[in-house]
């Protein structure tokens, strides 16, 4: 059984798709057969990587109405994700308020039938220093613990809106420290990409950017000095993310034969033998 990664936080623009992009690029550079499912209004990763590697599930207005109605259509849509999680090998980028619906489904649909205690799942939750993103992010981590108590939970501090050092004495920092100490939470950071040329590179695959040289950057319209400086910054940034993410991908592709328990998982109780 392969693992799955879910990238989620219903706050928009916190870096879910960029994190998913880093994960896919790292997997490709390592020769791992990762497939991505992106829930987005418009294709993002699917446009860059093609439908073989990234399946785009469109968040249209009709889809939002279907979700909001909460009827049979809602359950039919989400019932398909159980077998997908059981099969593994995929990353789900839950853009556009998707994760609230996933939790609503999971909490009443016996997700443990497919995932057991969730030990083959990794939930990655990007946050920025923006208060709303911290609130939805921490609430998301707590909801994960309810539906998948054995899952790995990773808080991804995205420095794109400002440094996390400014939150040192905050309620957030205290709760985070407690979760790291007592609840096995992992924390990684995704620094802001400060390369002068980043804006020109956002439409490129990061696995390809990782192998570009100065001439490639110049061909994209950068002056040689800008290209040289960008190369240094981007290379460091990519390498840091690859190092932080590779252990989770390696774990995901470690095959296990663990059988899925047929009966509901009892949280916090050992089975008598």
- Which range binds ligand ATP by CB under 6 A, 76-84, 187-195, 206-214, 265-273? 187-195
Q: Shortest approach of ligand ATP to residue 200 CB, angstroms?
A: 12
Alpha-carbon gap, residue 221 to 224, rounded angstroms: 9
- Which range binds ligand ATP by CB under 6 A, 13-21, 164-172, 178-186, 263-271? 13-21
Q: Which of 1, 6, 18, 154 binds ligand ATP (CB under 6 A)?
A: 18
Which among 12, 17, 66 has a CA at the least distance from the CA of 38? 17
Q: Which of 167, 187, 192, 244 binds ligand ATP (CB under 6 A)?
A: 192
Partners of 7 in the β-ladder: 93, 124
SS3 string of 130-153?
CHHHHHHHHHHHHHHHHHCCCCEE
Q: Shortest approach of ligand ATP to residue 198 CB, angstroms?
A: 6
Decide if residue 140 touches ligand ATP (CB under 6 A): no
Which among 137, 110, 55 has a CA at the least distance from the CA of 260? 110
Q: Shortest approach of Mg ion to residue 125 CB, angstroms?
A: 13
Note the maximum CA span of the chain.
Answer: 69
Q: Which residues bind ligand ATP (CB under 6 A)?
A: 12-18, 40, 95-96, 158-160, 190, 192-193, 198, 202
């Amino acid at each position: 059984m392969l693992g799955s990664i879910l990238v989620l936080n219903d706050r928009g623009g916190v870096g879910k798709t960029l994190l998913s992009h880093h994960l896919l690029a790292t997997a490709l550079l390592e020769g791992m057969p990762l497939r991505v499912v992106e829930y987005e209004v418009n294709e993002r990763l699917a446009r860059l990587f093609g439908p073989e590697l990234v399946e785009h599930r469109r968040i249209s207005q009709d889809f939002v109405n279907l979700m909001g109605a909460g009827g049979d259509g809602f359950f039919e849509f989400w019932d398909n994700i159980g077998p997908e999680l059981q099969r593994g090998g995929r990353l789900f980028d839950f853009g556009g308020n998707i994760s609230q619906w996933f939790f609503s489904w999971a909490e009443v649909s016996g997700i443990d039938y497919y995932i057991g205690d969730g030990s083959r799942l990794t939930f990655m939750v990007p946050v920025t220093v923006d208060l709303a993103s911290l609130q939805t992010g921490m609430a998301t981590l707590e909801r994960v613990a309810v539906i998948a108590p054995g899952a790995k939970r990773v808080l991804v501090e995205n420095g794109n809106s400002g440094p996390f050092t400014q939150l040192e004495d905050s309620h957030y920092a205290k709760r985070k420290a407690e979760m790291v100490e007592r609840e096995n939470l992992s924390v990684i950071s995704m620094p802001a990409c400060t390369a002068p040329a980043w804006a020109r590179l956002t439409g490129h695959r990061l696995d390809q950017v990782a192998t570009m040289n100065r001439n490639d950057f110049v061909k994209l319209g950068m002056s040689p000095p800008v290209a040289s400086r960008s190369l240094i910054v981007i290379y460091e940034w990519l390498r840091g993310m690859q190092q932080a993410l590779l252990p989770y991908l390696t774990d995901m592709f470690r095959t296990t034969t663990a059988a899925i328990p047929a009966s509901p998982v009892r949280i916090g109780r050992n089975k008598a033998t």
